[in-house]
Chains A and B, each alone.
Chain A
Amino acid sequence: MSIKELTGGAAYSVDGLRFSYGHPAGSRSGNGWVLDGLTFEVRPGEILGVLGPNGSGKSSLLKILAKVLRQQEGSVKLFGCELIGMPQHEVARSVALVPQESPIAFPFSITEMVLMGRFPHHRRNIGLSGLGWEGPEDIRTAEAAMRETDVLHLAHRSITDVSGGERQRAVIARALTQEPKVLLLDEPTAFLDLHHQLDICSILSRLNEERGLTVVLVSHDLNLAGQHCDRLLLLDRGRTVRLGSPEEVMTPEVLEEVYRCRVLVDRHPQSGLPRVTLPGRKLAVSSQLGDQG
């Protein structure tokens, strides 16, 4: 509530957003838009899940929100400021992106990699030498983030030597080290085991509650999104299909239309929120039999 008053409106307001890779003129003639006229708002302090089939433009949307990609048409405002007009490091001070994949070519230690999250903050102190040493404050922030994502014991290890899940947690620690107001995550739990999936989700929920961190989460995991997100944005071929609470979006009719397959929706035994299950083997067989009969 207080954050809303302070910022006077949305964390992001996206209006008529259109984006395509490659040459824009070529895509205008055909229907090559990856994102085709999106309009929505991200409320401050909410967890927004972005769902949709492969190729629906989820990751592209996230990259545009981080100013990693630029849209061809429409406007994206971050706390009321046009994103296009903001310097990159200014964006990076309020927005952190956890990408789907983090290619690693060089043997930085986990600590060194996490500390890179301080770059947008001490950028102006870099001075003539270009060295920009991290201060004790930076190190404390990194340390706290590493403890939070359970990578502190890997601090000395090289990122080339740890598992995919450990690397993913280190990347999330780096994003938290940015001390962002908005956290954008692209499939953050894809490489994680159950224990760490739950960890990441509870970290997100806690930061969201304690610090009012706004989270935009892209996921294929409908159940994870359904359990932890305040609202869901369901995309299909670059367009909004539905935007609303999990109850509104996760209905069999809507999901079957978008994913083009049968799904079962019941209730989570603990939270009572909608839960999606793919048809089991028996059902598939009996429905086939039914068709024949």
Chain B
Amino acid sequence: MGLMAGQTRSEERKAVATAFVAPAGEAARPSCVAPVGSSRLSPLRWLLTLSALAAAAVLVLLICLQFGAERIGLAEEIRIVSLAIGAGPAGLESAGASGVILLQVRLPRVLLAFMVGGCLAAVGVGLQALFRNPLADPYVLGISSGAALGAGLAILFGLTGTALAFSALSLCAMAGGLLSVLVVYRIATAYGYLPIHTLLLAGVILNAVFSALVMFVTSIMEPNRSFGMMSWLMGTLTAPDYPAMLVLAAYLLTGLLVLFRQAASLNLLTLGEESARALGVEVEAVKQTVFFTSALLTGAVVSVSGMIGFVGMVIPHALRLLAGADHRLLLPASALVGGMYLMAADTIARTLLAPTEIPVGVVTALAGGPFFIYLLTLRKGRLA
């Protein structure tokens, strides 16, 4: 549905293009009818696109819930959902085993996939604008390797138990991720402001150092533990229980709203810092906000999902081609499509070799990589 909206849009653009090709010479150029209205993001297109995407997300959610080790048909699914909505937990009793599977096992997992995918894609959009580089992704700040180190240490020392309904592994990963972000930030702001190139370099270097430490930690683990480490590194969604999900959802939503509020400023920031400043953007404040919001969002997401590649890079890129570059649409649309993408990818990861699970990061990379190469060949020379 999102794709359809995008295609209609590009057809619109073509139609406008052909309508405004001047027959010949300067004098023939149109001066009365202006294509200005149709060549920008209008509030109506914004609303229509996002409504269509939200509807599509609900549809994908319902489809993903049907699949698992055991297929639950649509009629059964609707019956269970309506029971749960109508009668609450009490209604579950009558829904039977498939009710438990659907609501206690699959729904949290699918919802988590939606939240994680949505955040990764939105943060990807934000950081691509911040770095003015369409190849940036949420892990570019060095978060991923810091989180991996935290997770690795938790696994190495066999930390168990929970706090605030989150597992020790998640909390260690979050702490590691935030620690590395602070180090990157300290390195980059040595001169009192936030130079983007230094930030990028600091992130890359710290990633390299921490990755080496992760390798070291993994190499001295017992074999059965290193298996857990590997699957974390390749990305695996582990859904916490509902209260923790609620906390996580509120946290992520707050972060996303803070990010969305910067949309207009991000548009200008892509013109370069000097141009943005000359147009009235408080550039340093915007950079700080986007940096810390991205870091806090990615840290939380990584702690419950491990490292899931490609969502944060490919989704923003594809959406930019289909829906235009305006961040007021690009940010929320990427969040919705990223969420859908990860729900679908995780469903494939759960079911393809059931009961064995494939790490979801493998699925996103295998599906996203070729798609990205396709985009590269399609839009040759327009990426940099």
Q: Is the CB of B275 within 8 A of A97?
A: yes
Residue interface bits B351-376, CB-to-A below 8 A is 1, else 0: 00000000000000000000000000
Q: Is the CB of B134 within 8 A of A93?
A: no
Out of B34, B267, B280, name the residue touching A89 (CB < 8 Å).
B280
Q: A106-B270, A112-B324, A116-B268 are in contact. Are A153 and B20 (CB under 8 A)?
A: yes
Note all chain B residues with C-beta closer than 8 A to A95: 278
Q: Is the CB of B279 within 8 A of A119?
A: yes
Note all chain B residues with C-beta closer than 8 A to A131: 43, 46, 263-264, 328
Note all chain B residues with C-beta closer than 8 A to A111: 35-36, 39-40
Most-contacted residue by chain A among B35, B43, B263, B281 (CB, 10 A): B35
Residue of A nearest to B22 (CB): A153
Q: Is the CB of B275 within 8 A of A120?
A: no
Out of A90, A107, A142, A152, name the residue touching B31 (CB < 8 Å).
A152
A4 close to B (CB within 8 Å)? no
Closest chain-A Cβ to B270's Cβ sits at a distance in Å of: 5
Q: Is the CB of B320 within 8 A of A93?
A: no
Note all chain B residues with C-beta closer than 8 A to A93: 280
- Considering only residues 266-289 of chain B, those with a C-beta below 8 Å from chain A are 267-268, 270-272, 274-275, 277-283
Q: Is the CB of B13 within 8 A of A156?
A: yes
Out of B16, B261, B321, name the residue touching A156 (CB < 8 Å).
B16
Note all chain B residues with C-beta closer than 8 A to A103: 132, 271-272
Q: Given the complex of chains A and B, what is the CA–CA distance between A115 and B279 in angstroms? A: 11
Residue of A nearest to B20 (CB): A153
Closest chain-A Cβ to B264's Cβ sits at a distance in Å of: 5
Note all chain A residues with C-beta closer than 8 A to B38: 156
Q: A108-B325, A131-B263 are in contact. Are A116 and B271 (CB under 8 A)?
A: yes
Note all chain A residues with C-beta closer than 8 A to B96: none
Q: Given the complex of chains A and B, what is the CA–CA distance between A88 and B262 in angstroms? A: 16
Closest chain-A Cβ to B333's Cβ sits at a distance in Å of: 13
Note all chain A residues with C-beta closer than 8 A to B280: 88-93, 119-120, 123
Task: Report the stretch among A41-49, A62-70, A251-259 that lies at the interface.
Answer: A62-70
Most-contacted residue by chain A among B13, B16, B275, B326 (CB, 10 A): B275
Q: Is the CB of A67 within 8 A of B325?
A: no
Residue interface bits A66-104, CB-to-B below 8 A is 1, else 0: 111000000000000000000111111101110100111
Closest chain-B Cβ to A138's Cβ sits at a distance in Å of: 10
Q: Is the CB of A105 within 8 A of B264?
A: no
Closest chain-B Cβ to A120's Cβ sits at a distance in Å of: 3
Closest chain-B Cβ to A6's Cβ sits at a distance in Å of: 23
Q: Is the CB of B274 within 8 A of A152?
A: no
Residue of A nearest to B331 (CB): A130
Closest chain-A Cβ to B49's Cβ sits at a distance in Å of: 14
Q: Is the CB of B39 within 8 A of A109?
A: yes
Note all chain B residues with C-beta closer than 8 A to A110: 39
Q: Is the CB of B43 within 8 A of A67?
A: no
Note all chain A residues with C-beta closer than 8 A to B264: 119, 126, 130-132
Residue interface bits B128-159, CB-to-A below 8 A is 1, else 0: 01001110000000000000000000000000
B341 close to A (CB within 8 Å)? no
Note all chain B residues with C-beta closer than 8 A to A263: none
Q: Given the complex of chains A and B, what is the CA–CA distance between A2 and B37 in angstroms? A: 37
Q: Given the complex of chains A and B, what is the CA–CA distance between A130 and B264 in angstroms? A: 7
Closest chain-B Cβ to A25's Cβ sits at a distance in Å of: 13
Q: Given the complex of chains A and B, what is the CA–CA distance between A119 and B280 in angstroms? A: 7
A240 close to B (CB within 8 Å)? no
Residue interface bits B102-126, CB-to-A below 8 A is 1, else 0: 0000000000000000000000000
Note all chain B residues with C-beta closer than 8 A to A68: 274, 277-278
Residue interface bits B276-304, CB-to-A below 8 A is 1, else 0: 01111111000000000000000000000
Q: Given the complex of chains A and B, what is the CA–CA distance between A89 and B279 in angstroms? A: 7
A226 close to B (CB within 8 Å)? no
Closest chain-B Cβ to A121's Cβ sits at a distance in Å of: 9
Most-contacted residue by chain A among B20, B40, B283, B325 (CB, 10 A): B40
Closest chain-A Cβ to B271's Cβ sits at a distance in Å of: 7
B29 close to A (CB within 8 Å)? yes
Q: Is the CB of A134 within 8 A of B40?
A: yes
Closest chain-A Cβ to B47's Cβ sits at a distance in Å of: 11
Out of A107, A152, A156, name the residue touching B382 (CB < 8 Å).
A107
- Given A105-B384, A152-B35, 4 other A-B residues pairs in contact with their CB atoms under 8 A: A99-B275, A107-B320, A108-B270, A111-B40
Top 7 nearest A-B pairs (CB, nearest first) are: A92-B280, A120-B280, A89-B280, A130-B261, A97-B278, A156-B39, A111-B39
Which residues on A are within 8 Å of B, measured CB to CB?
63, 66-68, 87-93, 95-97, 99, 102-113, 115-117, 119-120, 123, 126, 128-134, 139, 142-143, 146-147, 150, 152-153, 155-157, 160-161, 174, 178
Can you spell out 7 A-B residue pairs with CB atoms less than 8 angstroms apart? A97-B274, A108-B326, A116-B267, A130-B264, A131-B43, A146-B36, A156-B39
Which residues on B are within 8 Å of A, measured CB to CB?
13, 16-17, 20, 22, 29-31, 34-41, 43, 46, 129, 132-134, 260-264, 267-268, 270-272, 274-275, 277-283, 320-321, 324-326, 328, 382, 384
